[in-house]
């Protein structure tokens, strides 16, 4: 799909062209010089972006940014070619993109897939759909507080429901985020993957319950492990001793 747009009446961010493409193996575009800003979001597959003297590997969940006036070439992988959604635009606010340290970075994919779905299903004027999407994208790219809020909400989710068999995908869906994106921003803050954070929350709670004198089987059930054998194996791997020995070590009995 490719869509050309009427830019009349907008100044800060106005879309010029929008589309998506499933690329053939090794499909290449360029070298070319643009007169607009262009952002591609890679939904699946991979490829390379060449600009100036650098080559960037681009994988799913990442965007790559092309600036007006620069020579660029981008090429789909020979074995796993990419499918991407792209938007070209200009405007006074678009210049802020040049303050980003790198032209390839992770972004929230629902911004792009949402724009594409809304346009295909005719859920409004294309220009307004894309302008709203661009503003959401810029908020994501330039607002650390927005990313931090997602992380804190994920933490709260785990804190409230750690005793259930929750997954990273479930938490991401509750936040309307791509699970890969949530995992990346969570790890950037905590230094560990979200899945490991869920496990550590359960195990630390189990340690606290055992330290209070709660029977091992009850503690296991309280943190979401109805199967004592499975809980014991996981606990030993995490703590270094089985639950019964840990309880004795902290309670003396």
Residue, of 86 and 102, whose pLDDT is higher: 86
d(Cα 185, Cα 150) in Å, to the nearest integer? 8
Look at residues 103, 120, 142 and tell me which one is the last residue of a structural domain.
Answer: 142
Considering only residues 3 and 222, tell me which one the structure prediction assigns the higher pLDDT.
222
CB distance 90 to 47 below 8 Å: no
Question: Which residue, of 142, 174, 207, is where some domain finishes?
Answer: 142
- Confidence band (pLDDT; 50, 70, 90) for 5? low
The pLDDT tens digits of the residues spanning 212-250 come to 999 999 999 999 998 889 999 999 999 999 999 999 888
- Based on the domain organization, do 34 and 130 belong to the same domain? yes
Q: Find the distance separating the first CA and the last CA of the chain, reported in whole Å.
A: 69
What CATH number should be reported for the domain holding residue 236? 1.10.10.60
For residue 11, pLDDT beyond 80: no
Record the pTM.
Answer: 0.63
110 and 39 both lie in a single domain: yes
pLDDT tens track for 178-202: 888 888 888 888 889 999 999 999 9
Pair (16, 56) in one structural domain: yes
- Per the CB < 8 A criterion, the answer to whether 96 and 142 are in contact is yes
Domain containing 218 equals 196-251
Q: What CATH number should be reported for the domain holding residue 151?
A: 1.10.10
Calculate mean pLDDT across residues 39-59: 93
Taken as a whole, the chain contains a residue count of 253
Give residue-wise pLDDT tens across range 56-97: 999 888 899 999 999 999 999 999 999 999 999 999 999 999
151 and 228, same domain (yes or no)? no
């Amino acid at each position: 799909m490719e869509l050309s747009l009427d830019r009349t009446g907008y100044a800060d961010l106005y879309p010029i062209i929008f589309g998506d493409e499933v690329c053939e193996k090794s499909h290449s575009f360029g070298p070319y010089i643009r007169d607009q800003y262009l952002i591609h979001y890679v939904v699946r597959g991979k490829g390379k972006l060449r600009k100036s003297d650098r080559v960037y590997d681009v994988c799913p969940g990442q965007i790559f940014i092309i600036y007006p006036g620069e020579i660029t070439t981008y090429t789909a992988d020979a074995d796993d070619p990419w499918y991407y959604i792209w938007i070209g635009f200009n405007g006074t606010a678009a210049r802020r993109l040049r303050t980003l340290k790198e032209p390839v970075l992770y972004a929230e994919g629902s911004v792009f897939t949402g724009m594409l779905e809304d346009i295909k299903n005719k859920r409004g004027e294309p220009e307004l759909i894309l302008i709203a999407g661009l503003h959401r994208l810029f908020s994501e790219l330039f607002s650390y507080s927005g990313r931090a809020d997602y992380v804190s909400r994920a933490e709260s989710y785990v804190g409230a429901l750690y005793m259930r068999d929750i997954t990273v995908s479930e938490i991401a869906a509750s936040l309307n985020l791509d699970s890969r994106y949530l995992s990346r921003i969570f790890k950037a803050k905590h230094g560990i993957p979200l899945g490991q954070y869920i496990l550590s929350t359960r195990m630390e709670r189990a340690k606290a319950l055992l330290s209070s004198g709660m029977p091992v089987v009850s503690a296991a059930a309280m943190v979401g492990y109805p199967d004592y054998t499975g809980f014991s194996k996981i606990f030993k791997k995490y703590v270094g001793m089985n639950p019964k020995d840990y309880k004795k070590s902290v309670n003396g009995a």
